[in-house]
Amino acid sequence: MITFGYSTHGFDTLVAWTLQILILVANYTTSYYDTYAGQPQDNYENFSQIQLGGGLLNGDSPTAFYGLYQAPGTNQSGYGFNDNDQFSVNVSGSMSIGNHEVRLGFQYEQRTNRSVAYARQACGRLCVV
């Protein structure tokens, strides 16, 4: 998780990094910081340098391979709401007067399916300290 940045005269001078709960996503930024360990100048002085080097900021997702396959740790975003109602009535009958065959039937069915789903992609940007 990108925790804070130091700023002097309107420019970032250092961006600090701490490991977060989403290990697959954190590996991208951890790898970037490990590559340039102890060398913050021109490497992690601002958010742009981190993103251009392959690191991820809070709420970022890794890019897809060849635009087709999702990278490990990709966050799914969005929400969904589903509300389905089903109502059914079935009535059947049969009658034969010759040898006294009588059939009756009745069926009633009512079903309600509801669901709500949320994915947290945008939450990462809101949680930046």
Per-domain boundaries in the chain: 2-74+120-126, 79-117
CB-based contact 117:79 (threshold 8 Å): yes
pLDDT surpassing 80 at residue 22: no
Split at pLDDT 50, 70, 90, the class of 19 is low
Q: Whole-angstrom Cα distance, residue 51 to residue 55?
A: 5
Per-range mean pLDDT, top range of 48-52, 106-110, 123-127: 106-110
Q: What is the pTM of this model?
A: 0.48
Rounded to 5 degrees, φ, ψ at 21 are -70, -35
Locate 109 and state its tokens.
């069915």
pLDDT surpassing 50 at residue 91: yes
Mean pLDDT, the chain, whole residue set: 77
pLDDT surpassing 80 at residue 94: yes
Q: Whole-angstrom Cα distance, residue 15 to residue 2?
A: 7
